[in-house]
């Protein structure tokens, strides 16, 4: 009875503070002393009052740490932060998911927590052309999902997200490479474009990469190194809008004096 009264007092004070002066919620002893009952109370408020819901969930975690509902409550706290969606709450969600994985690595819910951790970064990642640090972090977390939990549904979802992350990173790298190409910094443009071939071979714009990589070498007076990329473009992407340009470059190279092609 003493424990029940203490729990009622703790939750009552917390809920009173969360509701900014509203009436204190009275909990029956059988609710305050039950992990399941407390968890279900939290579920009632998840959508309409997440802060209040978290008070119930944290009480489950603190008072019944070895309970089945303690694990569910920990995930519920993380999900409640994630669902609020703003930058600050997403950071808190990531911390909660990471802590859950650390505490319960063998839990059936661990793959879910790992995948959601990746989403915390993915959902806040910037478009290509802007800083891609969050995309890089998301990619790392999705790869962990596959490595740690390869046969799960979350691993399947993570594979799809990995493709999206790599596409975004490839597009970002291409944007930088194209900038160098346009400013005639051909050493830098070839370096960036080659990075795409090495790191993102499934990039959807590979025909564009082949053309600008070949043309970077061509304009850098290294025409012999441009030939394989122009030929690859024509062979693999004959319908690309760059195929005709690549063919024209090859004709130009063939007609050029040997001294030009060997520089």
11: three-class secondary structure by DSSP: helix
Q: Which residue has the higher pLDDT, 17 or 74?
A: 74
pLDDT at 23 over 70: no
pLDDT at 76 over 70: yes
Model pLDDT, residue 28: 67
Cβ-contact 155, 149 below 8 angstroms: yes
pLDDT at 176 over 70: yes
Q: Which residue has the tokens 């939290």?
A: 42
Q: For residue 62, what are its two tokens?
A: 């603190």
pLDDT band of 128, cuts 50, 70, 90: confident
For residues 142-163, give the mean pLDDT.
Answer: 97
Residue 197 has, within 13 A of its CA and on its CB side, a CA count of 18
pLDDT at 1 over 70: no
pLDDT at 33 over 60: yes
| Core vs surface per residue 7-30: b (16+ CB within 10 A) or e | bbeebeebbeebeeeeeebebeee
Q: What percent of the chain has pLDDT over 90?
A: 78
Model's pTM, two decimal places?
A: 0.80
Mean pLDDT, all residues of the chain: 88
For residues 117-128, give the mean pLDDT.
Answer: 90
Model pLDDT, residue 30: 63
For residues 141-166, give the mean pLDDT.
Answer: 97
Q: Is 46 exposed, middle or buried (0-12, 13-18, 19+ CB in 10 A)?
A: middle
Give, as one character, the DSSP assignment of residue 2: H
For residues 239-249, give the mean pLDDT.
Answer: 97
Model pLDDT, residue 131: 85
Q: For residue 68, what are its two tokens?
A: 């089945």
pLDDT band of 130, cuts 50, 70, 90: confident
For residues 87-106, give the mean pLDDT.
Answer: 95
**Least confident interval from 10-14, 86-90, 107-111:** 10-14
**Least confident interval from 22-36, 47-61, 232-246:** 22-36
Give the helix ranges, DSSP H, for the chain: 2-18, 29-32, 35-45, 50-63, 68-84, 87-103, 110-122, 133-148, 153-182, 186-199, 206-219, 223-236, 243-255, 258-261
Q: What percent of the chain has pLDDT over 70?
A: 86
């Amino acid at each position: 009875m003493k424990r029940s009264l203490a729990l009622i007092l703790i939750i009552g004070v917390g809920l009173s503070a969360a509701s900014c002066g509203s009436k204190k919620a009275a909990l029956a002893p059988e609710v305050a002393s039950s992990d399941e009952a407390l968890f279900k109370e939290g579920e009632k408020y998840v959508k309409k009052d997440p802060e209040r819901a978290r008070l119930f969930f944290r009480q489950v975690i603190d008072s019944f740490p070895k309970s089945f509902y303690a694990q569910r409550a920990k995930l519920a706290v993380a999900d409640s932060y994630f669902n609020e969606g703003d930058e600050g709450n997403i950071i808190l969600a990531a911390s909660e998911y990471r802590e859950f994985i650390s505490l319960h690595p063998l839990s059936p819910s661990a793959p879910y927590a790992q995948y959601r951790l990746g989403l915390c970064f993915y959902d806040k990642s910037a478009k290509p052309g802007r800083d891609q640090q969050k995309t890089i972090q998301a990619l790392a977390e999705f790869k962990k999902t596959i490595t740690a939990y390869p046969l799960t549904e979350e691993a399947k979802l993570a594979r799809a997200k990995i493709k999206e992350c790599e596409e975004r990173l490839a597009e970002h790298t291409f944007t930088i490479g194209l900038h160098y190409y346009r400013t005639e910094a051909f050493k830098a443009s070839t370096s960036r474009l080659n990075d795409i071939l090495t790191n993102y071979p499934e990039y959807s714009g590979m025909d564009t990469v082949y053309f600008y990589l070949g043309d970077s070498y061509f304009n850098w007076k290294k025409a012999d190194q441009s030939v394989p990329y122009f030929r690859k473009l024509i062979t693999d992407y004959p319908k690309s809008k760059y195929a005709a340009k690549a063919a024209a470059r090859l004709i130009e190279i063939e007609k050029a004096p040997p001294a030009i092609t060997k520089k």
